[in-house]
Structure 1
Amino acid sequence: MAGLRVGYVLPTREQDLSGEHDPGRLVAQARRAEELGLDSVWAGESPVTRPRADPLLLMAAVAQATERITLGTAVLLPAMRNPVLVAHQLATLDRLADGRLIAGMGGGFPGAATEAQFAAVGVDHARRLGRLEESVEVIRRLWTGAAVSHRGEHFAFEDVRLSPPPSRAGGPPIWLAGGGPALRRVARLADGWLPYPLDAATYAEEHATIRKATVRPVTPALYATLCVDDDAEKAQQRLQTSIERYYNAPLEFVAKIQAMFAGTPEGAAAWLDGYTGAGARHLVIRLAADDHDAALEELADRVLPLLHDKEN
């Protein structure tokens, strides 16, 4: 797996569902992921729709508890905030992480629950994609360390200079989620692409679209959900329970939107190999599990060694 990277999504949402509320355990899981040789750890954001620990505060703790592993947000919803504050938080986090941060961002999945979340923080849901795009542009300018003035469709400010600047010149890479119509946004604005298409063929087509349209290198990644068991039927049952609790929606509905697999370790590796063959270079894995500590060990011991690095 020389050029292939694999990351682990911390179970922040699952902690809320279980009533555990122990961020320290999430930090310990990130530390264990580093010990097991994974390349990255990730945390998502959804304060209202699917409540969980704040990803930026959590990753600040992870930054101090780890040394090597990349830290990522999968994904942050910057449209819910002012970009000056987002740029400041991410720059400080990148400093704490010594330049190990990836800023994964998205607009939020369209739907009534997401609309309610934006309404709760006083932001018009219908304007979220415009706010996202403008935020990315503003954040990059603010990360230069120079004084910035901006007057756009959604935000306006004068002579703002942030400190500290990010650890790296230009700031952490910004990855954008999405497929279909979002591909143009990815090609125009992003350093990385973090989608979850249902099959490798769709991934290959959309990856080709980005490569034709982009003027900058874009890291092709994949957000995927795995449920692994030597008994494939048990894995499927556990996936259904996990997904339906997570989203409060039938598995059949979610499975038509997101990349997910339930089955044996060998089957999981073969399924992921399809995406690496289609161009994915960084796999971001969410585990559907009852015991997330054991599932992380199983991922590292029984799935990762079977993956093949396929240059495309």
Structure 2
Amino acid sequence: MTLRSGLWLPIFDELADPVVVSRLAAEAEESGWDGLFVWDHVRWRAPIRAVADPWITLAAAATATQRLRLGPMVTPIARRRPVKLARETATLDRLSGGRLILGAGLGSDRFGEEYSRTGEELDDRVRAAMLDESLAVLTAAWTGDPVRHRGEHYVVDDIAFEPTPVQAGGVPVWIAGFPGNVAPMRRAARHDGFFPVNLQDADQLAAAVDAVHGLRAERGATGPFDVVAALVPGTDPAPYAAAGATWWLTDFEPDAVTVDAVRGVLRDGPAA
């Protein structure tokens, strides 16, 4: 199986300018990279000061490229309204010609206090329920059929979301979570990919791959399924590909990443 390569950028400080990121996206495409993914935050701890919006940044990157897969990696969906996200994802997928991937997860208040300082939900279990409910709304919305949803957290009363995404079946969804945590793996098994965060080594990835594929087998799931490994630039991705990764993403340190550092990595080229 081919291992695809993606730049994964914390869009902070020097990278908080969508014009800069769109230029990097164009350079990455020219250098043979397969994807460009961005962090989704409204705040980060000091010394970070500037933070860009991921959706505007991705729209700029979409117009500067023709082939790169694009997406937020990851969006903490519980702090976004699912009907708004349905419109944003479908619109960006059409703008990009069907290249959007939606990374989704719980998020955390740990690094930027972006939930506690804005009155967002802090309880992980509640956010998990909001995440699952939002994903159900999105999946229904992407069909173009009227959505009739009345849940614990959201209501959608007979609304059809058109135009639909370009991609048949809707936008692929990759679920992020800690590799030893069963809940995100079960969630991933219902969708299109798993992004195990804070990987320690390839053996840990292999165990996560076995677990999530077992959960998919229980559901009778078939078809393509992606597994993502985020690795510090310079790490050999081969053991992770052997463990089952289908994508590797560049894991830059958010407090230290610069445009020059990103440009150096992208010019080194994607994985062979």
- TM-score, normalized by the shorter chain, greater than 0.5: yes
Distance 1:160 1:36, change over 3 A: same
* Preserved contact between residue 142 and residue 148 of structure 1 (Cα < 8 Å): yes
5 Å-filtered alignment, 1:38-57, equals 38-49=33-44, 52-57=51-56
CA RMSD of aligned residues (A): 2.1
Distance 1:99 1:147, change over 3 A: same
In structure 2, what is the Cα distance between the partners aligned to 1:83 and 1:290? Answer: 31
In structure 1, what is the Cα distance between the partners aligned to 2:118 and 2:204? Answer: 35
Distance 1:304 1:66, change over 3 A: closer
Amino acid at match of 1:44: W
Amino acid at match of 1:117: E
Identify the residue that residue 34 of structure 1 maps to in structure 2.
Answer: 29
The TM-score, its normalising length taken from structure 2, stands at 0.86
Identify the residue that residue 255 of structure 1 maps to in structure 2.
Answer: none
Structure 2: gaps spanning 5 or more residues: none
From 123, 135, 142, give the equivalent of 2:120.
Answer: 123
In structure 1, what is the Cα distance between the partners aligned to 2:136 and 2:205? Answer: 26
Distance 1:120 1:142, change over 3 A: farther
Identify the residue that residue 132 of structure 2 maps to in structure 1.
Answer: 133
Structure number with the higher helix fraction is 1
Amino acid at match of 1:29: L
2:175 is the alignment partner of 1:191: no
The structural deviation recorded for 1:295 is 4.2
Identify the residue that residue 281 of structure 1 maps to in structure 2.
Answer: 246
In structure 2, what is the Cα distance between the partners aligned to 1:37 and 1:112? Answer: 35
Structure 1: gaps spanning 5 or more residues: 227-264, 308-312
Sequence identity (%):
35
The structural deviation recorded for 1:291 is 4.5
* Preserved contact between residue 17 and residue 52 of structure 2 (Cα < 8 Å): no
Identify the residue that residue 105 of structure 1 maps to in structure 2.
Answer: 104
Task: Give the greater-gyration-radius structure (CA).
Answer: 1
Question: Helix, strand or coil: the match of 2:231?
Answer: strand
Amino acid at match of 1:203: L
Aligned length in residues: 255
In structure 2, what is the Cα distance between the partners aligned to 1:41 and 1:113? Answer: 23
The TM-score, its normalising length taken from structure 1, stands at 0.75
Quick one: higher RCO (CA 8 Å, sep 6+), 1 or 2? Answer: 2
Amino acid at match of 1:41: L
Question: Helix, strand or coil: the match of 2:12?
Answer: helix
